[in-house]
A and B are shown apart, each in its own frame.
Chain A
Amino acid sequence: MKFPVPHDIKAKTIPGTEGWERMYPYQYQFVTDDPVRNQYEKETFWFYDGLHYPEPLYPFDTIWDEAWFLALSQFNNRIFMVPPVRGVDHRMINGYPYISPVPVKDPAEIDSRVPNFMERAGYYYKNWDALEAKWKVKMEATIRELEALQIPRLAEMEDISVVTDAIGESKGYHLLKNYDDLINLGIKCWQYHFEFLNLGYAAYVFFLDFAQKLFPSIPPQRVTQMISGIDVIMYQPDEELKKLARRAVELGVDSVITFSPEWTVVEAALKKLPKGVEWLTSLALAREPWFNISTGTGWFHHDRSWNDQMNVPLSGIATYIGKVKQGISLDRPTEKVRAERDRITAEYRDLIEKDEDRKQFDELLGCAKTVFPYVENHLFYVEHWFHSVFWNKMREVGVIMKEHGVIEEVEDIWLLRRDEIKSALWDIVTAWATGVTPRGTMTWPKEILWRKGVMQKFKEWSPPPAIGTAPEVIQEPFTIVLWGVTNKSLADWASVQEVKDPSSITELKGFAGSPGIVEGKARVCRTVSEVGQLQEGEILVAPTTSPSWAPAFAKIGACVTDVGGVMSHAAIVCREYGMPAVVGTGHATKIIKTGMMIRVDGSTGAITITR
């Protein structure tokens, strides 16, 4: 299979973006001035991480890419000593990250890593539950630390307490230090993120692998179903909305809540009523931590949380109030879901002919079930709770930079790299201390304006799915399970042609996420704030969905996403609702238009535009 040479792609710079490289870390560049590195880059297979990055990365948002670049790699290569794989290398073209697993090539070295791996990974698998309990304590402490972190404003005159308490430090110093602390907490959180994840995915991916050896046609969605938790933490925010809906009806304030889609209006009205105040108390309890759920994946600064956009949970509560009033039960059919999971598991198990295969199946299933809650639950702690708080702390930094004239808008901060922000803060703090104007007031606004234009051009560019030289064997579990790099996907990628006329396309292919066939009217919702427009029975077409979209699923007939695999939120929720889902289509939101009639086959992954 032939893929383009990375350096050729990079050489075709989009006019007007020359010099874009300075927006990202230098080690992310494909190079031509270092023959050894250049040769390595050419011989390596790089694929575009479209799973995590459907859009080009803003310079600041690159922080999480660097964080997982480090964390995933170190756990594979330096901590657990996974015998045949080192880490996952990263590059960037036009704001789109390309990644590549790095194998251990020397067989002797692989052998020498085996005993260490068995000891280290074995320790985690054996003590999984106890270690996971420790993880939760560490993680919650990290989030508390983040929440408590102050981003101090710089005053004309420092407070008298600096003198009377003999503190001996200024707010300027605290700003610099606390910015470092903020960044370091973010990096630490991602250290924890991968503490269990590599091993968790390995257990899942090799259970899947074994199931597929026994049953070559088994849909991955069924394997996932066998090990998925029923009471996972990611469902909790949605459960809280249901509780609040029931509570509103109980207290008789439901009509106040459904009166307006504007939270500020509803809140003001509730505050005037004793029962409304009572309901607001229940809400306050639910908000921490559950409303830290992001309305996106949490990976990007523009993914705001429910706490940031109260209109979103408000619309969910209103939907559920409507259901309660109609006498429709909001309870998840957990017993049914559990019974179906157990039936499916038992039937597959009964189809296994050999005793030793059945024993192996039981072993791997048991292991996968032990590790899977972590795989599902870590998302809430890291990508949602931590990130939601983190992005807002960064906005506080942005406020200070704006106050000192270095950026024009708070949201401009995302166009700077985190080390550039540190430099700008030094500029601000020293200028503040000295009583002069920061140099950055003249340089950064101009640079930011140019970068905005670059980002716009990057968004219009389509990154090729794969570049470099395809490997013969892939051993890195994430590469297989998360990005679905298989013979088939490589072949699909190799044959990807640029779509000349999107309106001529009538067939789309994605992953079969949840079985069944539904034909209906499509509604494209690019963000969760648009789900209010959904009509009963329509087919939701979205870039991706997250738990904050949950109330939408109570209305729709099927779901289609651009990004995601069989373990994505949309697939899991649709399986539970028993409605079809096709996920990871790549570009459904670009091709399907609201109002089109489409046919979604969640068993085969096919979507047909019927008219």
Chain B
Amino acid sequence: MTSAAGVMEQAPVDAANVAPPAVCWFEECRRDSVPLVGGKCSSLGELINAGVRVPPGFALTTEGYRRFMAEAGINRELESLLAGADQRDIDGLEEISVKIRALIEARPFSVEIEDLVAECYRKLALRCCMPAVPVAVRSSATAEDLPGASFAGQQDTYLWIRGVDEVLHHMRRCISSLYTGRAIAYRANKGYASDKMAMSVGVQKMANSVTAGVMFTIHPANGDRSVIVIDSNFGFGESVVSGEVTPDHFVVNKVTLDIIDRTISQKQICYTVDPKTQTSQAFEVPFERQKVQSLIDDEITELAWMGKQIEKHYGRPMDIEWAVDKDLPAGGNIFILQARPETVWSEKSQSASTGSGGSAMDYILSSLLTGKKVS
């Protein structure tokens, strides 16, 4: 598998420059790039480098964030605004938050950063063969994996953003989401200094998904490592992730990649882009489509194969978000949007291990004595 564009773009930042880049492509990131591009973007980079098909994109790095905050003079103003904050005064904090967020959203990036972003966006559009390619702009936090770090603001995602000005604008909105009232209070409470905060913003081609969903490389119900379980619905993955519909459900044998169980559900709604507002909206699935299998068998097999490769790369069961892109031809249209280690079963040991490591005869005897329960 290669990325959609097939070729690696040249890095936008001179490699000889010792200072970290302000902007970089996902494929330049690795698992250990979290301090530079946050958890989400580094994991996407890791996937791309593992040969997994991921929608292409780039990130404003934490270095870019710091330079923006310093160069636009925001840090100084922040200090004075936050100086008077009382963490118990919710209304007061909200007022401060509104001021700070307006401030961040109104300040332009430096020309240098603007140029870097514009150049990346232009190249991205070229790679996707789509002028003003629609992108998702989302924050990628550096402390995502810390307990209690998922405080408000760090999950902001803006979908169906088109044009470089809009991209820049929504990048600032992501940054400003660090300063919601709740986030300010939380940090004050925990004693985190605001000027030590850093964030990265990812800009990724929107997967124009005809079908999307989640995939586990372990059976979430019984911890069976020999299967891959896929849930899918038409449209974007939101309806599956949020549990708004009962998705189609497939169980694939991980060893042989054949589909060993399938449940086709009645899927009443799906999310697709609203052409007017260019946002993701829930729509009713036409009645005659509701009971149609949302993923064809060949796609299920290909997806499961990808899941198997991802698990192999990480060496552990994974929890994966995926989409089938309607703009691309079969065989190159399935994308991985996100992959993270599965946590529930991985912490338990394999389902009720019964092996004593003893002889076959001992096992046969003890099993005969136990028998098979027929309730």
Contacts and interface: CB of A to CB of B under 8 A. Distances in A.
A344 B357 CA distance: 21
Given A356-B357, A604-B261, A214 B372 contact: no
A364 B360 contact: yes
Contact of A222 (B256, B363, B364, B371): B256
B270 interface: no
A82 interface: yes
Given A363-B363, A517-B297, A110 B369 contact: yes
Contacts of B297: 517
B219 A473 contact: no
A347 B354 CA distance: 20
B41 interface: no
A198 to B, nearest CB: 11
B371 A202 contact: no
B10 interface: no
Nearest to B218: A351
Interface string A332-369: 00000000000010011001111111111101101110
Given A209-B367, A472-B374, A219 B253 contact: yes
A473 B226 contact: no
B103 to A, nearest CB: 53
Nearest to B229: A217
Contact of A486 (B261, B359, B372): B372
A384 B182 CA distance: 80
Interface stretch (A16-24, A118-126, A275-283): A118-126
A215 B258 CA distance: 15
Nearest to A490: B374
A348 B226 CA distance: 7
Interface stretch (B149-157, B207-215, B345-353): B345-353
B375 A487 contact: yes
A356 B349 CA distance: 13
A219 B373 contact: no
A475 interface: yes
A117 B365 CA distance: 9
A490 B369 CA distance: 22
A168 interface: no
Contacts of A125: 360-361
Interface residues of B, number: 42
A206 B369 CA distance: 12
B224 A216 contact: yes
Interface string A201-226: 01100100110011111110010000
A400 interface: no
A216 B363 CA distance: 18
A121 B361 contact: yes
A118 to B, nearest CB: 7
A470 interface: yes
B368 interface: yes
A474 B354 contact: no
Contacts of A84: 368-369, 371
A445 interface: no
B255 interface: yes
A25 interface: no
B50 to A, nearest CB: 19
User: Interface centre among B226, B255, B364, B371, by most A CB within 10 Å?
Assistant: B364
Given A354-B353, A360-B356, A363-B359, A603 B371 contact: no
Nearest to B261: A604
A348 to B, nearest CB: 6
A490 B374 CA distance: 9
Interface residues of A, number: 61
B355 A215 contact: no
A452 B261 CA distance: 45
A357 B355 contact: yes
A474 B374 contact: yes
B363 A472 contact: no
B365 A603 contact: no
A349 B175 CA distance: 48
Contacts of B374: 470-474, 485-487, 490
Contacts of B358: 360, 363
A229 interface: no
B326 interface: no
A114 interface: yes
Contact of B365 (A83, A219, A351, A470): A83
A519 to B, nearest CB: 12
B260 A512 contact: yes
A515 interface: yes
A366 B225 contact: no
B371 A213 contact: no
Contact of B256 (A118, A344, A361): A344
B254 interface: yes
User: Interface centre among A85, A216, A485, by most B CB within 10 Å?
Assistant: A216
A295 to B, nearest CB: 32
A15 B360 CA distance: 53
A210 B354 contact: yes
A344 B267 CA distance: 35
Given A114-B365, A351-B226, A363-B359, A356 B256 contact: no
A472 B219 contact: no
A480 interface: yes
Contact of A217 (B227, B363, B371): B227
B365 A354 contact: no
A202 B226 contact: no
A581 B352 CA distance: 32
Given A213-B352, A351-B225, A475 B372 contact: yes
A217 B255 contact: no
Interface string B233-276: 00000000000000000010111101111100000000000000
Contacts of B373: 472-473, 487
Contacts of A121: 361, 364
A586 interface: no
A355 B225 CA distance: 16
A209 B364 CA distance: 10
A88 to B, nearest CB: 15
Contacts of A516: 258
Given A217-B224, A217-B226, A603-B258, A356 B364 contact: no
A210 B372 contact: no
B313 to A, nearest CB: 15
B357 to A, nearest CB: 4
A516 B256 CA distance: 11
Interface in B168-221: 219
Interface in A96-151: 110, 114, 117-118, 121-122, 125
Nearest to A103: B371
B222 interface: yes
Interface in A374-404: none
Given A475-B368, A487-B374, A217 B260 contact: yes
Contacts of A472: 373-375
Contacts of B360: 125, 203, 206, 363-364, 366-368
A470 B375 CA distance: 9
B38 to A, nearest CB: 31
Given A209-B367, A213-B352, A359 B357 contact: yes
Contacts of B349: 353-354
Contacts of B365: 83, 114, 117-118
Contacts of A470: 374
Given A121-B361, A360-B356, A344 B255 contact: yes
Interface of A: 82-85, 110, 114, 117-118, 121-122, 125, 202-203, 206, 209-210, 213-219, 222, 344, 347-348, 351-361, 363-364, 366-368, 470-475, 477, 480, 485-487, 490, 512, 515-517, 603-604
17 contacts: A83-B365, A114-B369, A210-B355, A214-B226, A214-B355, A219-B253, A222-B253, A348-B255, A354-B353, A358-B355, A360-B356, A470-B374, A473-B371, A475-B371, A487-B374, A515-B258, A603-B260
User: What 3 A-B pairs are tightest by C-beta distance, nearest first?
Assistant: A360-B355, A367-B360, A475-B371
Interface of B: 219, 222, 224-227, 251, 253-256, 258-262, 297, 349-361, 363-365, 367-375
